[in-house]
Amino acid sequence: MSTHHTTRPEPPAVATRLAPPAAAAFVMAAALGAAATPAVAAGTTGGDWTTYRNARHGYSIAYPTARFTDEPANESEDGRLVVSKDGSTRLLVGAFENADGTTLADYRTYLMQTNYQGAQIDYAPVRDRWFVLSGMREGTMFYERVSFTCGGRLINSWAILYPAGERRAWDPVLERIARTYTPGAGRNGKCE
């Protein structure tokens, strides 16, 4: 197994007005390799892709079984991290309640300042309820999609990070993963 690891920007040392809630902290901790609690989630394998559906928040995503390890590297009831078999690529997915009522624009600004400061952004569409940040930082390609559901009360996010030198191999995988993603609306799908 390779010892190469992608580097995710460190979270801010001092809490700010938009400090990340627990699930956002999970995503950051997972990217940095910290431990999390066991999951309360379901996953199925179909063909050569594994579909993960989060029991608590209802989001789902699929990823290629042949490229990622069988077991998640990190998991909680809010999210999951899976790592490529060679250890160079990380796929993170999670959701959390927007208890502070942070707006989509403010959350995007927060991510730009904390996770992607100094990055070369090459794709960044913004819509009413979602946005994407994609580009390169310090030799690592990233793609993160954030969706606000349930009237903005639930923030869903998924991200993939991979070495820039492997872009030709991972970009088609990223595109297919993106087509499988469905943001969550709670356990029952009704934002209750």
**Is residue 168 domain-resident?**
yes
What backbone phi and psi angles, to 5 degrees, belong to 92? -120, 140
Which band of pLDDT confidence, cut at 50, 70 and 90, is reported for residue 178?
very high
CATH number, domain at 116? Answer: 3.40.1000.10
| Rounded CA separation 55/64 (Å) | 21
Collect all residues with Cβ–Cβ distance below 8 Å to 76 and sequence separation of at least 6: 23, 26, 36, 37, 38, 39, 94
Which band of pLDDT confidence, cut at 50, 70 and 90, is reported for residue 192?
confident
**Is residue 54 domain-resident?**
yes
Using DSSP bridges, classify how beta strands 74-75 and 42-46 pair: parallel, antiparallel or unpaired: unpaired
**Is residue 14 domain-resident?**
no
Q: What is the mean pLDDT of residues 18-33?
A: 41
DSSP conformational letter for 67:
T
pLDDT, one tens digit per residue, over 52-93 is 999 999 999 999 999 999 888 888 899 999 999 999 999 999
**Is residue 188 domain-resident?**
no
Q: What is the mean pLDDT of residues 139-147?
A: 97
**Is residue 8 domain-resident?**
no
**Token reading at 76:** 């909680």
Q: What pTM value is reported for the model?
A: 0.79
| Rounded CA separation 89/4 (Å) | 10
Percent of the chain beyond pLDDT 70?
Answer: 76
Residue 124 has pLDDT above 60, yes or no: yes
By residue range, what is the domain housing residue 144? 22-180
Residue 145 has pLDDT above 70, yes or no: yes
| Rounded CA separation 3/1 (Å) | 7
Domain count for the chain, please give it: 1
pLDDT, one tens digit per residue, over 150-176 is 999 999 999 999 999 999 999 999 999
**Is residue 103 domain-resident?**
yes
**Is residue 189 domain-resident?**
no
